[in-house]
Amino acid sequence: MSRIITLTPNPTYDFAVDAPKVEPNRKLRCVNPESHPGGGGLNVARAASRLGAGTLAIFTTGGLYGAALKGLVAEESVAMRAVHVSGETRLAFHVRDTSSGDEYRFNLPGAEISASERQALLDAIAQEVSEGDFIVGSGSLPPMRGPGAQETFWAEASRIAKSNGALFVLDSISGLDAALKEGVFLLRHNEHEYQSLAGKALKWPDEIAAFAKSLVAKGAAERVVITHGGDGSVMATRDALTFAPVFPVRAHSAVGAGDSFVAGLCVALMRGWNDADALRYASACAAATRLSSGTSLFKKEDVERLYAGGA
């Protein structure tokens, strides 16, 4: 059975709280503390697992927060392969101002990983991948020791996936040039991220759709998906452009919405759904996560209700 295998070189221990009002130079009394696994790939694995897909999360772990992170992943019954590193797993801290609804996100930097630790991540993919799997590289990259080590990491991961008959999905703005030169199955960017490739902001929908189509034509990716906030999303393939609107919901938090989108899209494509249904399902996953608080992800019943047309 094919799996969704996620790769997270720079995971986080996510900690979220609510504060009545965020103000400078004051001691803030916080409530509703929550802890969850964080980092793009880990969120994708958590979401895909909730949707019933076979998953495996490959991620680095080190120090006190790394040990706690493994415990959080185990609590969600997500299969994992943790690669030990000497540096400390980073912390991400999220505060929601309940008086305004604004979110404040503080992400600490990841520790540098050595050449042997980097290779251990790539070896883990090679040892776990099977034909038909989706390999999802997601999130930021930590500093990596060695010339070009960071810039070529995703390209090497894509090469391993392709050589084993798997499909490589990239949702990152790190190491893009080499990865797209190597070629990926699917590239996902949001309304801010695509500008690092385009060099400027483009108009929705025509210019953005044309840009996505141009990346496919160049062979950078078989599919390019750009999510554009409240406007919706577009998926370009060699033969078609597919659009999907967002689901209007009263959002509590946007944390993890993009990762939930990627998980829903991969699950639907793995199941053989057509592009229109897959993109709509991905949008339902993102909207359902926006209904959750802090760093929580969606409830499956919310995804199914939204996808079926419920309010």
Residues 6 or more apart from 107 whose CB is under 8 A from it? 12, 90, 92
Query: Quick check: is 102 catalytic?
Result: no
Backbone dihedral angles phi then psi of residue 26, each to the nearest 5 degrees? -135, 150
Residue 137, token pair as written in the block? 């590289």
What is the rounded CA–CA span in Å between residue 180 and residue 177? 5
Q: What is the DSSP letter of 133?
A: P
Map tokens 């053989």 to a residue: 272
Phi-psi category of residue 165: left, alpha or beta, with phi > 0 → left and psi -120 to 50 → alpha: left
CA distance 87 to 89: 7
Spatial distance between the Cα atoms of 131 and 277, rounded to a whole number of angstroms:
24
Which residue among the candidates 14, 133, 259, 275 is catalytic per the annotation? 259
What distance in Å separates the CA atoms of residue 131 and residue 118, rounded to the nearest whole number? 23
Q: Which residues are catalytic?
A: 259
